[in-house]
Structure formats: C-alpha cells, structure tokens
Amino acid sequence: VDLASARLYVRDIVSRKMYPDEIYDELFGMAIRLDAKVLGIEETSLNEFIRQPIKNEMFKRGIFFELVWLKARGGMKKELRVKELVPYYRQGYIYHNAACADVKKLEQQLLMFPRSRLWDIMDCEAYIIEMLELGERYFSPKDNPEDIESEYDDLDYEESISNWRYA
C-alpha cells in the first residue's frame, strides 16, 4: 500500500492448501520479504485456530507486526467484498506484479467475476479495503508543487525587529 501515490500493489500471492505450521511459515516469510508492518488476518471461522498461534509465533520468532483481525464484510457473501474492489480497479489504484506466479490465478478469478468458480484469491485481496478503513489509512491528495509555492503568496510579512537586544 502506497498512500502517498494512491496505489495498492499485489506483490505476491500464495495459493495452495497448507497445514497450520506452513501457513505461519508462509505468513512470516512473506511479511519479512515484503517488509510489511501490518498483517491482516481473517478470523471469521478460524478464531481459535488462528489468533493465539499467530501471536505465539510472533513471540517465538521475535518478529512483531501490527495485527488487524478482519471480520467478513457484507455478511458471509464474498461477492459483496469483491465488488468493493471495482472502483479501485476502475480508477487505476491497483497494480499486479507480473513476476508473481499466482497472479494469473487472481486475474482469472477477477475476469470471471461474479461467475468465478474459485473466489479465494480475489476474496483475500478484497480485505485490503477493510484493512485500510480499520487503520484509518486513506490516499493522500496529489501535491502540485505550484500550489505549495502559491501558499507563500498568501502570507503577510511583518517588518523585522531592529535593535531587538535593546527592546
């Protein structure tokens, strides 16, 4: 997420069935590799399975992240979550890493929306909207250097104090 340039990057995707210990290894490995500061974790049906073990892994590894516990948005309907991505794509905010092996799976799911047979990757991506909202993270306005300089024109300059040592 780059709030200053209003861009959301899909940098890496892991899409396969995993055991819990593999999930933790992949989660922390990717977080370190991408220099992540915040991790978003869906806890809808995995509350007991995921919350304590992930916190435990952070302490065990000595690596700490801000954890955002994500609830299913729009009830349990994945379609409503994924539909929220549409304006972000239409406005050109979301970028995909072409070097990522599984990005084609994401793009296939998105192209088939809402009739896609698989929803897992695009549903996961859709949680970025909730993460941004929960963290109160919003895109910054685009700065125009000319506007910054014009702010100085509005200032009233006062005459400098002379003989300030003898006042």
Summarised one tens digit per residue, pLDDT across range 53-106 is 899 999 999 999 999 988 866 555 788 888 989 999 999 999 999 999 899 999
pLDDT in the model for residue 22: 93
pTM value?
0.73
What percentage of the chain exceeds 90 in pLDDT?
44
pLDDT in the model for residue 145: 59
Does a cis peptide bond (omega within 30 degrees of 0) precede residue 53?
no
Q: For residue 82, with 0-12 CB atoms within 10 Å meaning exposed, 13-18 middle and 19 or more buried, which class applies?
A: buried
Residue 122 has pLDDT above 90, yes or no: yes
Range of the domain at 71: 8-166
> Taking all residues of the chain, what is their mean pLDDT, rounded to a whole number?
85
Q: What is the CATH number of the domain that holds 91?
A: 3.30.420
Residue 139 has pLDDT above 60, yes or no: yes
pLDDT in the model for residue 161: 72
| Domain membership flag for residue 142 | yes
Residue 159 has pLDDT above 70, yes or no: yes
Kindly state the average pLDDT of the residues 23-40: 94
Domain count, the chain: 1
| Domain membership flag for residue 1 | no
| Domain membership flag for residue 28 | yes
Tokens encoding 49: 């399975």
pLDDT in the model for residue 18: 92
116 compared with 75, residue with greater pLDDT = 116
Residue 16 has pLDDT above 60, yes or no: yes
| Domain membership flag for residue 2 | no
pLDDT in the model for residue 74: 53
> What angle do helix axes 47-61 and 20-33 make, rounded to 10 degrees?
50
| Domain membership flag for residue 154 | yes
| Domain membership flag for residue 122 | yes
| Domain membership flag for residue 140 | yes
Buried b (16+ CB within 10 A) or exposed e, 36-66: beebbebbeeeeeebeebbeebbeeeeeebe
